């Protein structure tokens, strides 16, 4: 009876890990393969086997989200470097729009630039030193 309780706890921790990956990579619901691996945790014969299955389910979820990110189907993780690239591109676009005399469009890009810089500032604050 204690084994089933421990396996349920292991399953809940694995589900929380998959949800954290989903939030981190801004992905969709995990695929059927990930769900099947999570459910397989309850069929383990020992706690060690259940923990190994939980780790494997998390690994499969990570690969799932990374492959979606690589194919451009999800936005993926937001990094300071990625935001820095977006900020530089936005600044160049603003300069181009100003040169072309498109002040309204340049202003909307300035608003976007401000939100990108704010997001980068918040992300830098969260980074471990």
d(CA 72, CA 86): 16
- The domain ranges of the chain are 2-70, 80-126
Token pair belonging to 127:
């980074």
- Alpha-carbon gap, residue 129 to 125, rounded angstroms: 9
From the list 33, 29, 9, the residue with the least C-alpha distance to 21 is 29
Q: What is the average per-residue pLDDT within 31-55?
A: 91
**0.75 cut: is pTM over it?**
no
Average pLDDT over residues 67-76: 85
Nearest to 64 by CA among 11, 24, 9: 24
Q: What is the pLDDT of residues 21-32, one digit of tens each?
A: 988 888 888 888
């Amino acid at each position: 009876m204690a084994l089933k309780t421990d396996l349920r706890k292991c399953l809940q921790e694995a589900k929380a890990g998959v949800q954290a990956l989903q939030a981190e990579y801004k992905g969709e619901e995990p695929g059927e393969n990930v769900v099947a691996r999570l459910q397989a945790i309850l069929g383990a014969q020992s706690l060690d086997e259940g923990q190994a299955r939980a780790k494997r389910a998390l690994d499969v979820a990570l690969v799932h989200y990374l492959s979606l990110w690589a194919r451009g189907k999800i936005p993926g993780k937001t990094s300071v470097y990625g935001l820095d690239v977006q900020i530089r591109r936005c600044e160049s676009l603003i300069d181009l729009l100003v040169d072309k005399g498109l002040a309204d469009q340049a202003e909307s890009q300035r608003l976007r630039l401000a939100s990108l810089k704010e997001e980068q500032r918040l992300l830098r604050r969260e980074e471990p030193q």
